[in-house]
Chain A
Amino acid sequence: MSRREDDGLARWTLILAFIIAGLFLFVSRNDARQRQAAPMAADEITSPVLSILSKPIRSAERFVFGFQDRARAHEENKALRAELLELREKQARMEVLRMKLARYEDILGAQSHTEIPLEKIAGRAVSESNGPFVHSLLINIGRGDGVEVGNPVMSPDGLVGHVIKIGEYSSRVLKLQDLNSRIAVMSPESSNRAILSGDNSANPKLSYVSDDEDWKNGDRVITSGDDGMLPRGLPIGTVQIEPNGDFRVALTGYQNALDWVWVSPFRPIPVPTEEVIPADTLDNIAGDQ
């Protein structure tokens, strides 16, 4: 084949490749906005490899964090002792309250319970995507382990995100910082409600904040469960008020390197199905009136 023919073929291959890539982008752009474009098969292939490769990196991170922890061990020890004393007192109060609550439940025949499932499915965060458009996480547990779409994913420090796609052995998690992430949240102290909206920055913002609600710097933020998708009470972070008046949340779930995470197999409240009332029943109701 002559050089001229080679050049022509190379040029056409390049044009064809541009067209193929452009078509992929055009066809999948809506799915990409919903973070549903990437096939789970790709994650299923990369997950075992990344699982092995991430081990030394996580070990190195643990070593560095351990070193930092040891450096401030003395101050932390003091702070922890003070916190322990405070918690002991709180625990004694809680025991009394728990007994009172049980007594009231007996009297009223009511049942109060937490929505957070006791069962936890542990897995490793093997890959983290922190691009300018997508913030997601790949974990090495999937459908075979009991994970379902929508399940919350927690680190030891707080909520990390929720599962958006599952394969047999891996799952894709939408992080709280992602532009598509919207979580109903509340303050446990004041019961203020808001929506935690990711905007691809490190600290997501609180949207739909009512003017008569008084969020303060340092207020704890937990899931409210109002969206029916996540249980109430999962810790998320603390409020930070920006100089421009925006409310942002410093996430606690990302304080340390993400290594082990767990999935809470929470079943969301099912969407009510529209029941078709037979025409004769409607006629009867109308007749009665």
Chain B
Amino acid sequence: MAYLSQASSTKPQRLIPLILALMIASIISFMSVKVSNQSVSLTWLPLLLIAMWPRYISPIWSVVLCLLFGLFVDWGSAGAPGQWALVYLSCYAFLRPERRGEKLTILRAIFNWLVVCFVAFVVFSVTGKIVYGEWPKLNYFAEQAGLATLLLPVAFMLRQGVRYFLIDPDERGY
């Protein structure tokens, strides 16, 4: 695995928007809303961030953040510690580094999202089977992937907006 076109170092202040976004997404993922007698939660929201991970964050910082926020989500949702961390890390690792290094268009974001959904489905199911001894119900994945997909355009636009305001015009271009 070669981490081509990746920033070799990251200024700490550049991590702040990503950490904030991860915190907000994690906290939202703990909550649920009652919609017509059905409880709906956005557990897969942080995965959208993995699919649209900023290019300027160095791989080392990225891995550390995936691990820490994965553990945070595991603890906050009373799940098995390490399960979401493994899902986030696998999704991050599976998106080829050269792909992450390219400019993120909406088509690229959709492709990344499909890859993330597939990896998350496999890793979450296998780790769930190992820990809890049973396979998860497929409708859970369909519901979560569907809800997060609905938010994909919003997340993409937010990312573009944040990038426009926070990144130097010289660096923004490529």
Contacts and interface: CB of A to CB of B under 8 A. Distances in A.
A257 B34 contact: yes
Nearest to B32: A128
A254 B86 contact: no
Interface residues on A, range: 35 or more
A133 B136 contact: yes
A133 B81 contact: no
Of B2, B66, B82, which is in contact with the most chain A CB atoms at under 10 Å from its CB?
Answer: B82
A21 B75 contact: no
A46 interface: yes
B66 A17 contact: yes
Contacts of A285: none
B153 interface: no
Nearest to A173: B78
Contact of A21 (B32, B37, B77, B86): B86
Contacts of A3: 8
A38 B78 contact: yes
Contacts of A38: 74-79, 81
Contacts of A32: 79-81, 131-132
B71 to A, nearest CB: 7
A6 B8 contact: yes
Interface stretch (B48-56, B57-65, B102-110, B111-119): B57-65
A241 interface: no
B95 interface: no
A109 interface: no
A28 B80 contact: yes
B59 A18 contact: no
A128 B41 contact: yes
A46 B93 CA distance: 28
B78 A22 contact: no
B155 interface: no
Contacts of B78: 35, 37-38, 43, 129, 134, 136, 138, 172
Interface of A: 1, 3, 6-7, 9-11, 13-14, 17-18, 20-26, 28-29, 32-33, 35, 37-39, 42-43, 46, 49-50, 53-54, 57, 60-61, 65, 127-134, 136, 138, 172, 179, 200-201, 254-258
30 contacts: A3-B8, A6-B8, A9-B60, A10-B58, A10-B59, A11-B1, A13-B63, A14-B93, A17-B64, A17-B85, A20-B82, A21-B70, A21-B86, A22-B86, A23-B82, A24-B81, A25-B131, A29-B131, A32-B80, A33-B131, A37-B79, A38-B81, A42-B75, A43-B75, A53-B27, A61-B33, A127-B76, A129-B41, A138-B30, A255-B37
Interface of B: 1-3, 6, 8, 27, 30-34, 37, 39, 41, 43, 58-60, 63-64, 66-67, 70-72, 74-83, 85-86, 89, 92-93, 124, 127-128, 130-134, 136-137, 140-141
Q: Top 4 nearest A-B pairs by Cβ distance?
A: A24-B82, A132-B136, A25-B82, A32-B80
